[in-house]
Amino acid sequence: MNSPIPIILDVDTGIDDAFALLLAAKHPGLNLLAVSCVDGNCPLVNVVSNTLSVLETAGRMDVPVLIGANKPLASESNYALAVHGTDGLGNLNLSPKSMKPVDADASEFMKDLILKSAEPITLIAVAPLTNIALLFQKFPEVKGNIERLVIMGGSASLGNATALAEFNIWHDPEAAQIVFSSDVEITMYGLDVFYDVHLSAIDIRKLQESELLPARIAGDIGAFIANILGYPITLGDAGAVCAVIDPLGLKVERFPTAVITDKGAARGMTVVDRRPYRDTVENERALADSKDVDVALGVDGARYSKLWLETILNH
C-alpha cells in the first residue's frame, strides 16, 4: 500500500470547507500535516473557531491549526454569511472545547513543515489565496518541495460572486495572481466542476442519523444549506480533496490561465484560454502573465460523493 499523501489544507471554514476538513482529517490515504485559516467566507476569528471545532469533533486534536491572514492583500473583505450562516458554520454555534490554534506565524510554520518534509507536499487551498501568496512571497524556497497546489477557485465559464468571478479568486485577486504566476504546478478545481458533486436529502438523513458525531455535524450543516438552496446540495470544497485522493475521477485539460486584478466588472475573473488553436503570434497567449494550469472540466460526481460519504460514515 502507498504511504499517505502529505497535505496542508488552507480553509475559510465555511460549510463546504467543513466537508473538506472532515475528509482530509479522516481519509487514510492522506496525512494532514496542518490546516491554515484565512479570512473569506466569514471573519478570520470565526474561521479559526469553526476549524478547531470541526477537527476536535473529528478527534484530530493533533493537527496544527494556523492563524493566517485576516484580510485580503489589497481589497476589503466580503463575507458570504448569507450562505454559510452568521457564525460561518450553519448557525450551529459550535465552539472548540479545548483545542487551541498554534501560537506561531502561519507562513513560517508552513515553510518549516514543507522544507523538512522528506516527500514533496501537496497544498490544497479551498479559500481565498492570501495565505498561499504570502507563503510564496516570504519563502519562495518552499516551491521546490511542493508536489502540486490544488485550488478550489476560478472558473473557465461563469462566476458566482460576480457574473465573471468565482468567490475565492474575487475575494483576493492580487493574491490569486501571485499564486497563478508562480512556477508551482496547479490544478484548478473551479466552478466548472464545483457544483457537480452532490449530497441528496437521503444522504443528509443518513448523516444526521449516524452514530458518529462528525457525521451528524456534517448532516446538520448540510441540512442548514439545503434549507437555503434546496436539494441536492453540493459537496463543494470537499471535491478538491477528493481530487487528491482519487485524481482519476477528474477530467482536466491544460490551458494558459490568468487572473484579472483590474477594478471593474471582470475583477477576480480567471481567463482560461480554451481556444483549440491560436492563429496569430500576438494571439499565442491572450495575456502575458498567463500560466499553464490543469483546469478541471469534468468530474465523476457519483464517484466523489461515494468516496466522501463512505469516509465520513465509516471512520
- Nearer CB in complex with ligand BDR: 11/111: 11
Residues 238-297 interacting with Ca ion (rule: CB under 5 A): none
3-class secondary structure, 291 = strand
Q: Are strands 5-11 and 30-37 parallel, antiparallel or unpaired?
A: parallel
- Residue 196 C-beta: closest distance to ligand BDR, Å: 13
For ligand BDR, the closer CB: 237 or 300: 237
Residue with cell 484548478: 188
The residue from 66, 121, 126, 150 that contacts Ca ion (CB under 5 A) is 126
For ligand BDR, the closer CB: 87 or 105 = 87
From ligand BDR, Ca ion, none, interface partner of 294 (C-beta below 5 to 8 A by class): none
Answer with the entry of ligand BDR, Ca ion, none that 160 interacts with (C-beta below 5 to 8 A by kind).
Answer: ligand BDR
Rounded Cα distance, 137 and 254, in Å: 25
| 212 contact partners, CB below 8 Å, separation of at least 6 | 312, 313, 315
Q: Which amino acid is at 200?
A: S
Interacting partner of 65 out of ligand BDR, Ca ion, none (Cβ under 5 to 8 A depending on kind): none
Among the candidate windows 87-95, 132-140, 236-244, 270-278, which touches Ca ion by CB under 5 A? Answer: 236-244
Task: Report the DSSP pairing between strands 186-189 and 198-199.
Answer: unpaired
Q: Among residues 152 and 260, whose Cβ is nearest to ligand BDR?
A: 152
Residue in 10, 17, 56, 172 binding Ca ion, rule: CB under 5 A: 17
Among Ca ion, ligand BDR, none, partner that 159 touches (CB below 5 to 8 angstroms by kind): none
Tell me the one-letter amino acid at 155: S
Q: How far apart are the C-alpha atoms of 232 and 252, rounded to whole Å? A: 24
Distance, C-alpha 170 to centroid of its chain? 14
Nearer residue to ligand BDR within complex by CB, 160 or 181: 160
What residues make contact with ligand BDR under the rule CB under 6 A? Answer: 14, 16-17, 41, 80, 126-127, 152, 160, 166-168, 236-237
Please report whether residue 14 would count as binding Ca ion according to CB under 5 A. Answer: yes
* Closest alpha carbon to 150 in 266, 9, 309: 9
Strands 5-11 and 186-189: unpaired
Alpha helix locations (H) across the chain?
Answer: 15-26, 44-57, 81-84, 106-116, 130-138, 167-171, 173-180, 191-194, 201-208, 213-229, 238-245, 301-314
C-alpha cell at 39: 479570512
Residue 256, classed as helix, strand or coil, is strand
166 binds Ca ion (CB under 5 A): no
Q: Of 66 and 111, which CB lies nearer to ligand BDR in the complex structure?
A: 66
Minimum distance, C-beta of residue 41 to ligand BDR, in the bound complex (Å): 5
- Residue number with the shortest CB distance to ligand BDR? 167
- Name the residues that contact Ca ion, by CB under 5 A: 12, 14, 17, 126-127, 237
